[in-house]
Structure 1
Amino acid sequence: MKGITKGVTVSRGGIRVNHLLFADDCILFARAKTEEWLRLQELLLIYEKASGQFLNKDKTSVFFSSNSRGEDKEKIMELGGAVIKGSYEKYLGLPPVVGKSKYNTFRSIKERVWKKINNWKNVFLSAVGKEDSRSMAARVFKEKYFKIVPLTEAKLGNRPSYIWRSVCGALNLLKDGLRWRVGNGTNIKIWGQKWLPTPSSFCVQAPCTILDQEAKVSELITSGEWNEPFIKSIFYKGEAEHIWSLPISRMEAEDKLIWGYTKKGVFAVNSAYQMEMKRRETATGECSNGREGENIWKVLWNLNIPRKAKFFLWKAAKELLAIRNSLYKKGIIKEQPCPICKKEAETAVHVLWSYPAAADFWSDLILVIQKWRTNEPDMPSLLDRL
């Protein structure tokens, strides 16, 4: 049955997609030509005879692209019988067909997300699904932006999407944290590439004296084990011990890039964040109140309150709440002042503390707070006082 339809492509020169399966639903792609429609009907007839399941034409629709010819549309609709002409229904809340106006297509999604934010809904997307490299989204990005090369060598390209531009913006950080896991050692250079379990650089510091500058790690392995006397004669003592501690694959597996800042080698956002913060501290020097800030976070995370409340206070201190000051800085809204008092910027400390209504609430709740000043500069300062 190969070659029944041409399907559609995700990108120029990419693979062709003839169908997509979603649970009990199926989307078929074909050119708006009578012969392809007849072939599809023959294929569906074979499926009906083989499975005993018949196509429900009352729940079937045909969607034509804007460049389809009128006579082809009429002929296909005539052959389709009770098939409905129109766009496919939303599936799991998302539109399968995107027209020229992306704003109109995704406006309902944006409004729904904003409604959730305003209602303080906490869970929007599946955290597990975002980490699945086999997901449809991950494969589409691979096909469109780095089909041939690995992710670390991918380019921004022409007319990139906002998501891909954001991914590329973090690629340098990703590259800095990657190192090689030794398999057979044939793809790793001893000097110049990162493969040692030393987070400071992951690179060999000993000078190249005996071996060639382009020598591979496989030259340090003999009969599936590290050649300890040879390694000892080349590397510093500490580096030699790190090399001996590395396990070698008995099956001569391929060398693999892993994330160097977690035990299992799997990338984690929190470890990347910590790596970047340490790098910035090293470059600029730690500020004078850095240790005081650390104490605030230790006290916060050790409070005997629900985790949701701790997370809320942390977001407030980091100005990550969906308030006007944060939205203004991100270019989402054009006005920064508080919409009620119209005097100060709507920051977290303003909403939760210095705004008169908030101050009255706290003073009624805890009498000792009545004598506190309300002009705290920011949330970390307020948390430090509390």
Structure 2
Amino acid sequence: MVKEENTDVKWRFTGFYGSPYAQNKTESRGRWRHLKLKFEAWWTIEETVEETIKKSWNSNSGTIVEKLGKLQVDLKEWASSIKKGKEGLKKKLTEELEVLLEKERTDDTLAKIIDTRVQLNMEIDRDEIYWEQRARANWLKVGDKNSVFFHNYALARKKMNMISRLEVRGGRLTSEESEISEEATSFFQEMFMSRRVGDLSHILSGIKECISSDINDSLVATFTAEEVFVALKEMGPTKARGPDGFPTLFFQRYWHIVGGDVVNFCLGILNDDQSFGKLNSTDIVLIPKVKNPINLANFRPISLCMILYKIVAKTVANRLQRVIGKCIDEAQSAFVPGRLISDNVLLAYEMLHTFRRKRTGTKGFMAVKVDMSKAYDRVEWDFLKEVMLKMGFGKKWVDLILKCITTTSFAVNINGKRGRTFNATRGLRQGDPLSPFLFLLCSEGLSALMRMVLKEGLLKGAKASRGGPELMHLLFADDCILFGEATREGANLLKGILKEYERCSGQCVNFDKSIIFYSSNTTEEHRGAVAAVLGMRNSTNMKQYLSLPSVVGRRKKDSFQVLKEKILFRIKGWSNRFLSQGGKEVFIKSVLQAIPTYAMTCFLLPNSFCREIEQLMSRFWWQKAHGKKGIHWCQWKDLCQSKEQGGMGFRDMAKFNMALLTKQGWRLMNNPDSLVARVFKAKYFPKENFLNSRLKINCSFTWKSIWAAKGILIDGLCWKVGSGKDISVLNDVWIPDLQMLRLSHHVNNFSDFKVAELIEANSREWKIEVIESTFPAAIAAKIVCIPLAKAAHDDLLAWRGESTGEFTVRSAYTLLQNNETDPTAYALHNVYREFYRRL
């Protein structure tokens, strides 16, 4: 007898015959698992499925749970009938088409050929979608009619994620699926069990109230159907399904049928305090972090939530995201609008560069890289609640969030089979749209403790320069670096902070994986004392922070060699031999070229290294089947031209690197109050702006990289006239559509002055007579066409590559592509050449 777990439909009988032989038990269990309905993406191209869904949905006037339950039954019957009709159809159509192609071409024969080809293409599409859904090769959206690739990719993925053996308590290895399931269930049941938080009064005293009554009113304002629909649209259509078997794609495609009930269900929870019922159950699947894992610590738990729950959580998260920046310390860069992961990379690199250069002074400093163990799983709900209330979030909003995270039930899914269900009393789910933002609120406890010891003068932070901001810590989600004086007293303070944070929030520091890095002037005595107090190991090289090198030495290519190795690994992947030329194009653009992009946002890769990467891609593009060398019919630079110009639209990696670094310069200019901008300004251009900055002795590699892109930024900027007081008539770019951008190229017979002198202050209109008597007629006509605001405002620098005036990497790359200047003009050796020329 079978009954869908999360439905109220009647029991139904399902017969199953399994092999009586023990050696076939795995196959029998696998067949049993697949009896549960899983909505297939290829069903959406079947003409009859929509009518089946509509008929089933409208025939039931019960709750949405009952409707989904009945729909599962009806779709299973429909799928069974469809499957019978499709067995052998692809082979049959292929044979029919071959016969038709050999016949004499008559009008009747041509009509049959066309009809047969249409049917065969539909079968191929169905096959491709089926395997694509299982392969989860998200990069390959277009380019291949290649079910062979998807088939092999899916099988490899399934094999990699299969758990065939596991180490249970006592150190014994087992291959019994029931033992593996019970061991995993017990492990996570214990992980998600609250340990009771300590006294919160001290840590809460350091958290500022940052949410006003107006913000609270906006958060708890009545939710609308439009917000629910927007949340659904923002979700990936074929992401992993929850326990009910329905993916996001089902609700997106058939919204016109199910949308009304979905909206009523979601708004009932969001506005009317209704409960989730059984629709907040969650499957935990285990993704291996290493090859051949045998211990549960070697797996990453991912939560597969019901889609209906995720719609509710995403709707709440969208509102929370709008205000999260007001609550989170500037040292935290993750998931906050306007902040990037590159901010933390740049800050950490600058701090460690200063540490390495600091050889004088009586006091040394330490940077403690802290490893948090199972950070999301250990978050205490009581602590999270009190933090939100202390920040000023209203009780109604806090209760709504707690309803989302505390009403869930869990079951560990091992090789497709759900284990027993259990409830949790703490923890956040990786896979819940709310979890990233809630973890940031939790991590504010650590920020509060660090701010308090700084304010009380108990511990000094570290500075990248004498007049720069004092940094106590850097956070990116659960990645954490703490800064302080490298003394026994400083170490005791940091240890006390970490212990209190553990006690209150539930977090657990992995001291074995945490390391300490010191400034060069720290004595061996102090290093030993600090390590002894903290119980961590000392290190002379942090190696990596957020997966990028924390030190780049003279041999720069060696520092980035891992990028080349990743590209080679992906190229040599056995599945890629099944790609067609169209698939190769997408693979290069979406996978290979994406690998170095993250590093390129912070570092100027050597020009020769970029060429080596391009050579790897070029060889892959031209090679024949089974890795045989092919003829290179044109150069890589020709392939980098747009398709309109006869190329393939691949990237010139050196130019793209420069475009990404130009964005960092733009952000330094336009976000001067950000932490990263204040640190760089204090260290490298304290008395001038970024555009007028110069290279200094012993500057960091990150600054050299950003500074190298300054010329591109200057070429692409144009002043938007406000008051005109800051704009030089001759030496600044301020007239749109002028081929020679600066007037100094056109006018040489008078001295420079400001644009404000060309504007009538009272009427805010151009002085037409002055302009026409001063400039050539064509230029004067362009000037008087520049619109002026009725009220004077500050002059603004805009990016002329976009109509909005906002910088984009795409437009900067286009500027470089169209620039006739030698692309090596921005290479790193020229940065050094410019520096030494001024010595």
From the superposition, tell whether residues 104 and 175 of structure 1 become closer, same or farther in structure 2 (CA, over 3 Å). Answer: closer
- Specify the alignment match of 1:183 in structure 2: 722
- Specify the alignment match of 2:781 in structure 1: 241
- Specify the alignment match of 1:61 in structure 2: 514
Asked whether 1:7 is paired with 2:461, we answer yes
The secondary structure found in structure 1 opposite 2:784 is helix
Q: Structure 2 CA distance, aligned partners of 1:71 and 1:146? A: 36
Which segment is superposed worse, 19-28 or 66-75? 66-75
Asked whether 1:38 is paired with 2:492, we answer yes
Q: Structure 2 CA distance, aligned partners of 1:91 and 1:67? A: 22
| Pairwise CA distance, 1:85 | 1.7
| Pairwise CA distance, 1:255 | 1.1
- Specify the alignment match of 2:815 in structure 1: 272
Q: Structure 2 CA distance, aligned partners of 1:171 and 1:89? A: 28
- 8 Å CA contact retained: 2:495, 2:533: no
How far does the alpha carbon of each residue in 1:30-74 deviate from its partner, in whole angstroms, 9 at most, with x for none? 22211112233444455456x443543546624143654444344
The secondary structure found in structure 2 opposite 1:27 is strand
Asked whether 1:122 is paired with 2:576, we answer no
| Pairwise CA distance, 1:159 | 4.3
- 8 Å CA contact retained: 2:461, 2:485: yes
| Pairwise CA distance, 1:223 | 3.6
Asked whether 1:79 is paired with 2:533, we answer yes
| Pairwise CA distance, 1:191 | 4.0
Larger radius of gyration: 2
| Pairwise CA distance, 1:185 | 1.0
How far does the alpha carbon of each residue in 1:73-121 deviate from its partner, in whole angstroms, 9 at most, with x for none? 44434433xx33244685442355x498977993663553563586562
Q: What is the TM-score of this pair, normalised by structure 2?
A: 0.28
- 8 Å CA contact retained: 2:758, 2:767: no
Q: Structure 2 CA distance, aligned partners of 1:99 and 1:232? A: 53
| Pairwise CA distance, 1:182 | 0.6
From the superposition, tell whether residues 111 and 201 of structure 1 become closer, same or farther in structure 2 (CA, over 3 Å). Answer: closer
The secondary structure found in structure 2 opposite 1:39 is helix
From the superposition, tell whether residues 127 and 226 of structure 1 become closer, same or farther in structure 2 (CA, over 3 Å). Answer: farther
The residue type paired with residue 242 of structure 1 is K
Aligned pair partner of 2:792 in 226, 242, 252:
252
| Aligned residue runs from structure 1 range 1-386, under 5 A | 1-2=453-454, 3-11=457-465, 13-44=467-498, 47=501, 51-58=504-511, 61-65=514-518, 67-80=521-534, 83-87=535-539, 90-96=544-550, 98=551, 106=559, 109-110=562-563, 112-113=565-566, 115=568, 119=572, 121-124=592-595, 125-126=597-598, 130=660, 131=663, 133=667, 142=681, 144-159=683-698, 165=704, 168=707, 171-172=710-711, 174-204=713-743, 205=746, 213-217=752-756, 219-223=758-762, 225-227=764-766, 229-231=768-770, 234=773, 235-250=775-790, 252-260=792-800, 262-266=802-806, 268-273=811-816, 276-277=819-820
| Pairwise CA distance, 1:244 | 2.9
Question: What residue ranges of structure 1 are gaps of 5+ in the alignment?
Answer: 281-317, 319-329, 332-386
From the superposition, tell whether residues 25 and 161 of structure 1 become closer, same or farther in structure 2 (CA, over 3 Å). Answer: closer
Q: Whose RCO is larger (CA < 8 A, sep 6+)?
A: 2
The residue type paired with residue 109 of structure 1 is V
- Specify the alignment match of 1:360 in structure 2: none
From the superposition, tell whether residues 68 and 157 of structure 1 become closer, same or farther in structure 2 (CA, over 3 Å). Answer: closer
Q: Structure 1 CA distance, aligned partners of 2:552 and 2:710? A: 31
From the superposition, tell whether residues 112 and 144 of structure 1 become closer, same or farther in structure 2 (CA, over 3 Å). Answer: farther
The secondary structure found in structure 1 opposite 2:548 is coil
- 8 Å CA contact retained: 2:512, 2:537: no
Q: Structure 2 CA distance, aligned partners of 1:41 and 1:47? A: 10
Question: What residue ranges of structure 2 are gaps of 5+ in the alignment?
Answer: 1-452, 573-587, 602-659, 830-839
From the superposition, tell whether residues 92 and 227 of structure 1 become closer, same or farther in structure 2 (CA, over 3 Å). Answer: closer
| Pairwise CA distance, 1:28 | 0.6
Which segment is superposed worse, 161-170 or 13-22? 161-170
From the superposition, tell whether residues 86 and 189 of structure 1 become closer, same or farther in structure 2 (CA, over 3 Å). Answer: closer
- 8 Å CA contact retained: 1:180, 1:195: yes
- 8 Å CA contact retained: 2:469, 2:679: no
Q: Percent identity?
A: 26
Q: Structure 2 CA distance, aligned partners of 1:167 and 1:258? A: 19
- 8 Å CA contact retained: 2:467, 2:682: no
From the superposition, tell whether residues 259 and 74 of structure 1 become closer, same or farther in structure 2 (CA, over 3 Å). Answer: closer
Which segment is superposed worse, 99-108 or 216-225? 99-108
From the superposition, tell whether residues 276 and 113 of structure 1 become closer, same or farther in structure 2 (CA, over 3 Å). Answer: same
Q: CA RMSD in A?
A: 4.5
- 8 Å CA contact retained: 1:20, 1:28: yes
Q: Structure 2 CA distance, aligned partners of 1:45 and 1:126? A: 34
How far does the alpha carbon of each residue in 1:272-324 deviate from its partner, in whole angstroms, 9 at most, with x for none? 336632x79xxxxxxxxxxxxxxxxxxxxxxxxxxxxxxxxxxxxx9xxxxxx
Q: Structure 2 CA distance, aligned partners of 1:89 and 1:194? A: 43
From the superposition, tell whether residues 248 and 43 of structure 1 become closer, same or farther in structure 2 (CA, over 3 Å). Answer: farther
The residue type paired with residue 202 of structure 1 is L
From the superposition, tell whether residues 112 and 9 of structure 1 become closer, same or farther in structure 2 (CA, over 3 Å). Answer: farther
Paired residues in the alignment total 277
- 8 Å CA contact retained: 1:224, 1:248: no
Q: Structure 2 CA distance, aligned partners of 1:71 and 1:13? A: 29
From the superposition, tell whether residues 214 and 170 of structure 1 become closer, same or farther in structure 2 (CA, over 3 Å). Answer: same
Q: Structure 1 CA distance, aligned partners of 2:748 and 2:517? A: 66
